[in-house]
Amino acid sequence: MKKIYLLLIFVGLICLSFTSGIQAQSNTPQRQETKALQKIEGLRVYPNPATGDILYITSYLQLTKTVQIYTVLGKKVMYKVLIGKELDISNLNPGVYVIKITEGKNQDTQKLIID
């Protein structure tokens, strides 16, 4: 009788080991795969800290850029499509911002300080 119970337990363990889709919960969040974006080659944002009303944004390719400026709390305060290199920041208050620049398929993020 003991041999039958051991055989049933052994068969059950083998069947459960091949079962897919059953996973234990973990405390770590699962990472979603994201496309790795390349940084913009030769990107320059100047002057930083900005003291005037114009911010200059240049890169090696000099393509059209999409510029988004956020507060440090994540609120979007500016969105511009930049054809040249001059960006008017006269409507921004002094403070610390995050500037996100997209040029083609490349993207870069920097800290921007306005005095």
pLDDT of residue 92: 95
Q: What is the per-residue pLDDT for 75?
A: 97
pTM for this predicted structure: 0.68
Run of H or E including 68: strand 65-71
40 within 8 A of 108, measured Cβ to Cβ:
yes
As beta bridge partners, residue 103 has 65, 106
Domains of the chain: 44-114 (2.60.40.10)
Which parts of the chain sit beneath pLDDT 50? 33
Instruction: Please report which helix (H) or strand (E) contains residue 10, including its range.
Output: helix 2-17
pLDDT of the residue at 9? 76
